[in-house]
Amino acid sequence: MLSLLKLYLAQGWQVIFASVAEPGPHRYPLAELGVNEQQLKLNDSSFDAWLAELAPQAVMFDRFMLEEQFGWRVEQACPQAMRILDMEDCHALRQAREHCFKAAVPVNAGALNSELAQREMAAIYRCDITLVISEYEMQLLQQHYQIPSALLCYCPFLLDQPVTSGTAEFAARQHFIAIGNFRHAPNWHAVLWLKQQIWPLIRAQLPAAELHIYGAYPPPKATALHNAREGFLVKGWAENASTVLQQARVCLAPLAFGAGLKGKLLDAMRCGTPSVTTDVGAEGMQATGGWAGAIANDAQTLADAAVRLYQHQDLWQQAQQQGFRTLQLNFDLALHQPRIWQQLEQLRSNLHSHRQQNFTGLMLRHHAYRSTKFMGQWIEVKTRLAELSSQTDAD
């Protein structure tokens, strides 16, 4: 999200970041970038009046759920604004993989065509353009879901400084690290897999090693896994992810399911920290020359690969350099910015004809926006009646 905001700012756009979420203690100081912030209310017509007065030329939704909530309001308040969907990752794919993983079956069409998938694909059609973070998901959207390429824009991580300078060398580092939001199901499963299978195998070969696990919102069931005797240390929120990544020698990310690109693995590459992950973890992030560490899909192979990286400096340095190459080849802002901006500007200048060619989107907006509109208005009226009733009772 930050890279996208910077992309718009670099083109001279004025950016307003509007959110229904309460400001959190760890939020980014957007004002330092020159980005204004606006607190929103769900299912409240105050948004309509505010947006109509603002009259933006473009509106970007952060994930399809926000398009469902606000799409009809945007179309009503500023119909000429270009509507951009930031997909983040393909929620339908992530859900299908998790469902099939738990059922111990391969990912299949039935799982991919879930109700959530239907909602997500409908949001893509209703928007003018969707930013897709992974080349794998670009293919999935076009081949499985038959989304026209004109509605999609490949937009991976965009790094203005691909490599963190002054990364610590092999001898200055120690221990392993795992990092990720505990509320994210793939991350929580990875922690359990490490605790129950992978870490005991590593610890048997490296009895003095420690695994430092960082992530926001650790629940009691996560902190209960902390065991200093086993070297399994659940540390929770990291004040600075780059600092703890640069202190570690190897990053562990055994992701059994998920989607999109993995920020933790990108950060590890930037910090010069080789990683051990799965095919799902490395998806959409590899470059010519292999992975910046090792890829495996079972506990024993993951553990053995982690131990080899930890013990052999030459192998570790090769993995580190491969990570730096991957960042330069795949995620350099200068590589993607001209293409992305050209597509957005071309769309903005031909918005009417673009929409007329997207008949499915026109149809979905006609029907879906009617239902979400009336539901939103019903909730707003219900909320106001409840407020009036409570005031009457108080009087």
Helix (H) or strand (E) holding 252: strand 250-253
Torsion angles phi and psi, residue 280, rounded to 5: -65, -40
Rounded to whole angstroms, the Cα distance separating 370 from 364 reads 10
**Same domain for 135 and 214:** no
Average pLDDT over residues 144-152: 98
**Same domain for 323 and 189:** yes
Question: In the listed set 297, 331, 365, which residue is the last one of a domain according to the structure?
Answer: 331
Rounded to whole angstroms, the Cα distance separating 180 from 187 reads 6
Q: Which domain holds residue 215?
A: 170-331
Rounded to whole angstroms, the Cα distance separating 255 from 91 reads 16
Phi-psi region of 60 (alpha: psi -120 to 50; beta: other; left: phi over 0): beta
Which of 166-170, 284-288, 305-309, 388-392 shows the highest mean pLDDT? 305-309
Task: Indicate whether 194 pLDDT > 90.
Answer: yes
Q: Which amino acid is at 277?
A: T
Torsion angles phi and psi, residue 245, rounded to 5: -70, -40
What pLDDT is attached to residue 165?
Answer: 60
In a domain, 69, yes or no: yes
CB 232 within 8 A of CB 222: no
What pLDDT is attached to residue 373?
Answer: 66
What pLDDT is attached to residue 395?
Answer: 61
What pLDDT is attached to residue 69?
Answer: 92
pTM higher than 0.95 = no
Average pLDDT over residues 253-261: 97
**In the chain, pLDDT over 90 holds for what percent of residues?**
84
**Same domain for 189 and 119:** no
Which CATH number belongs to the domain containing residue 135 in this structure? 3.40.50
Task: Indicate whether 388 pLDDT > 80.
Answer: no
**Same domain for 383 and 267:** no
**Same domain for 245 and 350:** no
Residues with Cβ within 8 Å of residue 182, at least 6 apart in sequence: 188, 191, 215, 216, 217, 218, 219, 222
What pLDDT is attached to residue 163?
Answer: 73
Give tens-digit pLDDT for 50-64. 999 999 999 999 999
**Same domain for 311 and 230:** yes
Phi-psi region of 104 (alpha: psi -120 to 50; beta: other; left: phi over 0): left
Which of 20-29, 106-115, 364-373 shows the highest mean pLDDT? 106-115
Mean of all residue pLDDT scores within the chain? 93
Confidence band for 160, pLDDT divided at 50, 70 and 90: confident
Which CATH number belongs to the domain containing residue 190 in this structure? 3.40.50.2000
Give tens-digit pLDDT for 10-38. 999 999 999 998 888 878 899 999 999 99
Rounded to whole angstroms, the Cα distance separating 242 from 159 reads 15
Rounded to whole angstroms, the Cα distance separating 256 from 290 reads 20
**Same domain for 131 and 42:** yes
Confidence band for 236, pLDDT divided at 50, 70 and 90: very high
Task: Indicate whether 166 pLDDT > 90.
Answer: no
Which pair of structure tokens corresponds to residue 222? 């996560």
**Same domain for 68 and 15:** yes
The burial class, CB within 10 Å (0-12 / 13-18 / 19+), for 191 is buried
Confidence band for 298, pLDDT divided at 50, 70 and 90: very high
Residue 278: how many other CB atoms lie within 10 Å: 21
Which residues of 318-377 form beta strands (DSSP E)?
none
**Same domain for 234 and 105:** no
CB 315 within 8 A of CB 309: yes
